[in-house]
Amino acid sequence: MAGPGTPGTDEEIRATTPLRDDATPLPSADGTGEVVLIDPEEAAGITQEIRAVAEARSDEPTGPMPLAEPPTEDMALPAPDADDGPLSDEELRDAWAVLDVHERLDGLRLLPREDAEEFFIGLHAIDQIDVLLAMRPGEQRSWMRLLEPDDVADVIQEAPEDQRARLLGLVDRLTRKEVEALLAYEEDEAGGLMNTRYARLRPQATVDEAIAYLRRQARTTVENIYYAYVLDHAQRLVGVVSFRDLFSAPGPTKIEDIMEREVVKAPPDTDQEALSRLFADHDLTIVPIVDDDGVMKGIVTVDDIVDVVQEEATEDAQKFGGMAALEEPYLQATLVENFKKRGVWLTILMLGQMLTASVIGFFQHQIETAVVLALFVPLVISSGGNSGSQASTLVIRAMALGEVRPADVVRVVRRELLTGLALGTFLGMLGILRVVLWPGASDSYTEHYILVGLTIGFSLIGVVMFGTLAGATLPFLLRRFGADPASASAPFVATLVDVTGLLIYFTIANIILSGTLL
C-alpha cells in the first residue's frame, strides 16, 4: 500500500515527469506536491474535441451520433477560438457518455479544481472508479479523500477485487474505519447506503450548547445537517430535533424538552426498495438507521434514495423487455455483456416458441382440413399475449410500489378474471363481426363462416382470460420462490400464452366445427 514519501510513488512521479517551460502545473489537493502537466497546445486540442462532442450531442439529443474518422498525420485540429474560453463542466457532462476513460480524465483535469471536484463527487460510482484507476497513485489519494464514507464504500464495491485493499488504504484512518463498517452490509441494503456522519446531540444539553456544538460539527465531519439526532450515553437513538425547533427555542431549554421522540427509522438490513417506500410513505428527506438494540448506525438521505429508485426502475424496465438487467450504463456495457444479458433470455423464449411449433404440428390435420383456421392464428394468440403482458406489467408495478402484497393474490386473480372476461367478450364480438360482416365471407371463410366467426369469438374470450390470469399470477409465483417478479416479463408471458392460446383455439374449433369443416 503506497503512502506519502514511498519510493516509486510521489517522488518517482515528479522525477520522471518532464517539465516544459510553457506547461502549467496543477497541484494535487492533498498536499503531496504531485503535479499533473498538460501541454497548453494539447489542452487546447482536448478542450476543442470535448466541446465539439458536447455540441453535437446537444444539437441532436435524440439521434445517433456518427463516429468520427480517426485523425491522420495530414489532418490537424483547427486552432481553438480564443473567445471559447476554458472547458466548462456542462460541456464535459454533455460529452461524458461517449468519451473513453482517458478522455474523461483529461477533461476532468482541464476543469477548474473546484468545478472538477464537484463534478467528480456527482458521478456514479462506476464512473468514479474508472477515472480513479486511470489516474496516477498520488492523484488517486486526493480524489478518494473528496468522497464521503458511503460514497467511498460504493467506489470500493465497484473496484476490481485486487484493487480494493489498495484503494481503501488511500483514505484517512477514520474514514477507512467507517468504510469497513459499511462494507459489512450488502450494497442493496440500508446499511450499505447509509452515511455514518450525522449531527448528534445529548438530551441533557441546552439549546445554546447544542448550536455551538453543531457549528463545530459542520466545520469538521458533518456535511449535510438537516436534523440533529439525540443519542444517550450508549449511542441509542432517543429522539430527533429539527433545526427550526432548535433555533426557535430559548437558549437554556434542554434538548430533551423539544426533541421529537417518535422517529421513523429502519434497521440496517432493510432492502433498498422497502427503504424507498418508507421515504415515499412518510415524505421524508432522511431516515436514521438503527440496529436491533436501538443503537444509531447512520443515516440515509433522499439523495441516495433517488439513485436507488433510478437503478431499480432501470433494472425493472430492462427485465420487462425480456432480458437480464445490465450492471453498467448502456454505452459502457461491453458487447460480451450485452450478448450474455440478452442472449440467455432470447434462447429461453425461442425454446418456448418451439413448443408453439409442436402444438401447430399436433393440430396439423385440423389445419389441412379447415385451412381457414390458420388465417386467424396470429389474431388469437397475439390478443392473449397482449392481455397477459398488460396484466403482468400492472401487477409487477403495483408490487414495486407496495400497492399489492402476497396476501392479495386472491383479490388480484378475481379482479383479473373479471377484467379478462370483459375484455375477451369485447374482442370476441369484434372478431365475430370481422368474420361475419366481411365482404364475400362465404367465399373467403366457406359457407360455414358464421361457425368460423363463433370459433374466433369464443377463442378470444378464452385466450384473453387465460392471458390476464397468467400475467397476474406469474409475479406472485416468482416472489413465492424468491425470484424477482420483474422476471415475469412481457415477452415471457406472451410466449407462454402463445402455446396455451393455440391449445384453446384448436380445442374450441374441434367443438364448434365438428361435423362441418372438421
Q: Which SS3 state, helix, strand or coil, does residue 326 take?
A: coil
- All three cell numbers of 399: 408490487
Tell me the C-alpha distance between 253 and 113, whole Å. 44
pLDDT 10s digits, 71-112? 444 444 444 444 456 788 888 888 888 888 888 888 888 888
Q: What pLDDT is stored for residue 46 in this prediction?
A: 72
Q: What is the mean pLDDT of residues 345-364?
A: 84
Length of the chain as a residue count: 518
- The C-alpha atoms of residue 284 and residue 335 are separated, in whole angstroms, by 40
Report how far apart, in Å, the C-alpha atoms of 281 and of each of 65, 267, 307 are: 42, 17, 18
* CATH number, domain 330-513: 1.10.357.20
CATH class for the domain made up of 10-188:
mainly alpha
Q: Could you tell me the residue ranges of all domains in the chain?
A: 10-188, 200-320, 330-513
Least reliable range by pLDDT among 38-52, 53-67, 298-312, 454-468: 53-67
Backbone angles phi, psi at 134, to 5 degrees: -85, -10
Strand partners, 144: none
Judged by average pLDDT, the poorest of 51-65, 365-379, 380-394 is: 51-65
Lowest mean pLDDT among 77-91, 112-126, 357-371: 77-91
Q: Cell match 388465417: residue?
A: 375
pTM: 0.58
- Write down the CATH number for the domain with range 200-320: 3.10.580.10
Q: Is the pLDDT of residue 318 over 90?
A: no
What φ, ψ does residue 8 adopt, rounded to 5°? 95, 0
pLDDT at residue 15, as a whole number: 37
H or E element in which residue 35 lies: strand 35-38
The whole-angstrom separation of Cα 289 and Cα 458 is 56
Alpha-carbon span 264 to 284, nearest angstrom: 9
Q: What are phi and psi of 22, to 5 degrees?
A: -100, 10
What is the C-alpha separation between 488 and 399, in angstroms, rounded? 12
- Looking at the DSSP assignment, which residues form a beta bridge with residue 213? none
Tens-digit pLDDT profile for residues 131-171:
999 998 888 898 998 888 888 988 998 889 888 899 988 88
